[in-house]
Amino acid sequence: MGSTTDMPIYHDITVPVSPETPLWPGDGPVRVEMVADMAKGAPANVSRLCLSSHTGTHVDAPFHFIRNGKKLPEIPLDTLIGPCWVAEFPDLDAVDAVDLEATVPVGTERLLLKTRNSRLWDEKRSDFITDYVFVTPAAAEWIVRRGIRLVGIDYLSLDAYSEYVESAPSAHLTLLRNEVVILETVNLSGIAEGRYQLICLPLLAGNGDGAPARVVLVEE
Ligand SMILES: [Zn+2]
């Protein structure tokens, strides 16, 4: 990009929202319609969007699974913006506490987990898969114990799909009860393990359980 060495490099890890975005079962469909179209003589182009608050790259607030939990507007910006560690686990089917303990630096406050899930975004898969890489309940407890404020993963949920069968998913409950913010559906395929600045800005729209976000990693 630039010629100066101190120029920051930005990585957009956002998965765009469109009718092709993979959706959680029951969460669809995404509708994007032109309500004013200059090609048809309108004075402006205006679209109308219809989507779940958990579509594409999005943030889960505690209120998503906790009745009196914090809503998105109550989440401090300094949770969503700041130093972040990207941990890479290319060979795991589930990320467990021992995996995190072995690699995540002490003092990490924001943690993004890069797994084989990220390849799905490069392949532009629009179907939902159930055998994605997830976080174990023990890993969620480890994240809380470590004082991590935000954790992200590269698929639609950080809980195993089987966690949703009869009850609320346990990693979500552990994290959200302890006010750890969850970031889901980021594309980390082009990102190397290491330290970045995270900029994660969910829309202030809807009921505050969650919202799509534009998410950027800044390399220094
Ligand atoms: Zn969500």
pLDDT of residue 176 exceeding 80, the answer is: yes
- Catalytic residue positions, numbered: 64
pLDDT of residue 5 exceeding 80, the answer is: no
Sign of CA dihedral 181, 185, 189, 190: negative
Amino acid letter, 20: E
Give the rounded distance of the alpha carbon of 42 from its chain centre: 36
What is the CA(211)–ligand 1 centre distance, in A? 8
Rounded to the nearest 10 degrees, what angle do helices 137-145 and 170-177 cross at? 10
Give the rounded distance of the alpha carbon of 85 from its chain centre: 14
CATH topology of domain 9-16+53-219: Glucose Oxidase; domain 1 (3.50.30)
- Calculate mean pLDDT across residues 166-170: 86
- Calculate mean pLDDT across residues 156-176: 92
What is the CA(210)–ligand 1 centre distance, in A? 6
pLDDT of residue 4 exceeding 80, the answer is: no
DSSP character at residue 19: T
What is the CA(208)–ligand 1 centre distance, in A? 11
What is the number of other CB atoms lying within 10 angstroms of the CB of residue 136?
A: 21
User: pLDDT of 62-120, one tens digit each?
Assistant: 999 999 999 999 999 999 999 999 999 999 999 999 999 999 999 999 999 999 999 99
What is the CA(62)–ligand 1 centre distance, in A? 10
- Calculate mean pLDDT across residues 190-200: 98
Rounded to two decimals, the pTM is: 0.95
